[in-house]
Amino acid sequence: MTDLATPTPSAAPKVIPVGRTRVIGYITAGLGLFVLLAFGLGSSGNAHSVLTFTPVNTSTNAPWSIGALTVLTRYWNMAAGLIAIAIGVHMIVRRPAKGAMVRFGVAAILFLFALLLWAGRDPGPSQGLHVNLTSILIGSSALAMVLIYGALSGIMCERAGVVNIAIEGQFIGGAFFGSVIASTTNNFLLATLAGAVAGALLGLVLAFLSLRYLSDQIIVGVVLVTMMSSLSSYLNLQVLSPYPNLNTGNLASNIAIPLLYKIPIIGPVFFNQSGFFYFMIVLVSLISFGLFKTRWGLRVRAVGEHPKAAESVGINVIRTRYINVVLGVAIAGVGGVAFMASQGAFQVGYTSGLGYVALAALIFGRWRPSGAVSAGVLFGISAYLALNLQTYNIPISTEILGMFPYLITIAVVAGLVGRVRPPAADGQPYKRD
Partner 1 sequence: MRIELRGITKRFGSFTANDRIDLVVEPGEIHCLLGENGAGKSTLMNVIFGQLQPEEGEIVIDGETIKFANSGEAVRRGIGMVHQHFMLVPVFSVAENVVLGFEPTKSFDRLDRKKAADEIRRVSKEYGLEVNPDAVIEELPVGLQQRVEILKALSQDAELLILDEPTAVLTPQEIEALMAIMRSLAKAGKSILFITHKLKEVRAVGDVITVIRQGRVVGSVPPTTSEAELATMMVGRDVKLTVTKEAAAPGDEVLEIRDLVVRDDRGLAVVNGVTLNVRAGEIMALAGVQGNGQTELVEALAGMRRIESGTITVRGRDVTNNKPREMLDEGLGHIPEDRQRNGLVLSMSVADNLVLNTPRRAPFARRGTRNLDAVEQNARQQVKDFDIRTTSTRELVSSLSGGNQQKVIVARELSRPLAFLVASQPTRGLDVGSIEYVHRQIVNQRNEGLGVLIVSSELDEVFALGDRIAVMHEGRITGVVDATTSRETIGLMMAGASSQSAHD
Partner 2 sequence: MTENMADVLAQADPGSPVERRSLWTRFSSKSPVVLALLALVLGFLIGALVIIFSTNTVLDAWRGIFSSWGAPGHALKVTFDNVGAAYRAMFTGSVFDPSQFWHSIATGKQWDNTLTPLSETLTYATPLIIASIAVGIAFQTGIFNIGANGQAIMGGIAGASIGSMINMPAIVHIPLTLAAGIVGGMVAGSIPGFLKAYTGAHEVIVTLMLNYVIAFFLVFVLLSTPFQLPGQSNDISRTMHSSAQLAPLFGAASGLRVSYGIFIAAAVVYFAWWFLERSSLGFDFRITGNNPNAARASGINARRVIVVVFLISGGLAGLAGVVQVSSTTHYVDGNFLIGSAGIGFTAITVALLGRNRPMGIVWGSLLFAALGVGGRNMQAATGIPLDLATIIQSVVVLFVATPVLVKEIFRLRSSSAQGIQLATKGWGS
18 binds partner 2 (CB under 8 A): no
- Return d(Cα 341, Cα 251) in angstroms, integer: 5
**Least distance in angstroms from the C-beta of 305 to partner 2:** 12
Residue 299: which of partner 1, partner 2, none does it interact with, CB under 5 to 8 A by kind? partner 1
Residue 211 half-sphere exposure toward CB, CA atoms < 13 A: 25
**2-31 positions binding partner 1, by CB under 8 A:** 2-9, 11-18
315 binds partner 1 (CB under 8 A): yes
**Least distance in angstroms from the C-beta of 33 to partner 2:** 21
**Least distance in angstroms from the C-beta of 377 to partner 2:** 19
Residue 270: which of partner 2, partner 1, none does it interact with, CB under 5 to 8 A by kind? none
Residue 313: which of partner 2, partner 1, none does it interact with, CB under 5 to 8 A by kind? partner 1
**C-alpha torsion sign, points 321, 325, 327, 328:** positive
**Least distance in angstroms from the C-beta of 284 to partner 1:** 17
Instruction: List the one residue from 58, 60, 184, 233 that touches partner 2 (CB under 8 A).
Output: 233
433 binds partner 1 (CB under 8 A): yes
DSSP 316: -
Question: Which residue from 344, 411, 348 is spatially nearest to 382, judged by alpha carbons?
Answer: 411
DSSP 66: -
- Return d(Cα 62, Cα 73) in angstroms, integer: 29
Instruction: List the one residue from 325, 360, 381, 389 that touches partner 2 (CB under 8 A).
Output: 360
Contact predicate 216/426, CB 8 Å = no
Residues in Cβ contact with 30 at an 8 Å cutoff, skipping those fewer than 6 apart: 88
**Least distance in angstroms from the C-beta of 8 to partner 1:** 6
CA dihedral of 275, 236, 329, 337, whole degrees rounded to 10: 0
**Least distance in angstroms from the C-beta of 61 to partner 2:** 39
Would you give the binding string for partner 2 spanning residues 238-277, x where CB under 8 A is met? Answer: xx--------------------------------------
Residue 15: which of partner 2, partner 1, none does it interact with, CB under 5 to 8 A by kind? partner 1
Identity of the residue, 91 or 144, whose beta carbon is nearer to partner 1 in the bound complex:
91
Instruction: List the one residue from 314, 395, 397, 431 that touches partner 1 (CB under 8 A).
Output: 314
Contact predicate 156/325, CB 8 Å = yes
By CB under 8 A, how many residues form the interface with partner 1? 39
Residue 213: which of partner 2, partner 1, none does it interact with, CB under 5 to 8 A by kind? partner 2
Contact predicate 34/110, CB 8 Å = no
Residue 223: which of partner 1, partner 2, none does it interact with, CB under 5 to 8 A by kind? partner 2
Would you give the binding string for partner 1 spanning residues 286-305, x where CB under 8 A is met? Answer: -------xxxx-xx-xx--x
Beta strands in 316-388 (DSSP E): none
**Least distance in angstroms from the C-beta of 288 to partner 2:** 21
Tell me if the bond preceding 123 is cis, omega within 30° of 0.
Answer: yes
Question: Which residue from 152, 52, 180, 217 is spatially nearest to 375, judged by alpha carbons?
Answer: 152
Residue 407 half-sphere exposure toward CB, CA atoms < 13 A: 8
Instruction: List the one residue from 308, 319, 393, 410 that touches partner 1 (CB under 8 A).
Output: 308
Instruction: List the one residue from 231, 257, 298, 315 that touches partner 2 (CB under 8 A).
Output: 231
Instruction: List the one residue from 61, 242, 313, 431 that touches partner 1 (CB under 8 A).
Output: 313
Identity of the residue, 120 or 423, whose beta carbon is nearer to partner 2 in the bound complex:
423
Cα–Cα–Cα angle for 219, 164, 153, rounded to 5 degrees: 165
**392-431 positions binding partner 1, by CB under 8 A:** 424
Helix H segments across 120-160?
Answer: 133-159
- Return d(Cα 331, Cα 104) in angstroms, integer: 28
Alpha carbon distances (Å) from 152 to 149, 177, 328, 331, 359: 5, 20, 7, 7, 9
CA dihedral of 236, 241, 246, 247, whole degrees rounded to 10: 70
Strand order in the sheet with 69-72: 69-72, 48-52, 131-132
> Which uninterrupted H or E stretch holds 399?
helix 398-416
Instruction: Summarize as ranges the residues that interact with partner 1 (CB under 8 A).
Output: 1-9, 11-18, 293-296, 298-299, 301-302, 305-306, 308-316, 424, 432-433
Instruction: Summarize as ranges the residues that interact with partner 2 (CB under 8 A).
Output: 23, 163, 165, 209, 213-220, 222-224, 226-227, 230-231, 233-235, 237-239, 349, 352-353, 356, 359-360, 363, 397, 399-400, 402-403, 406-407, 409-410, 413-415, 417-418, 421-422, 426-428
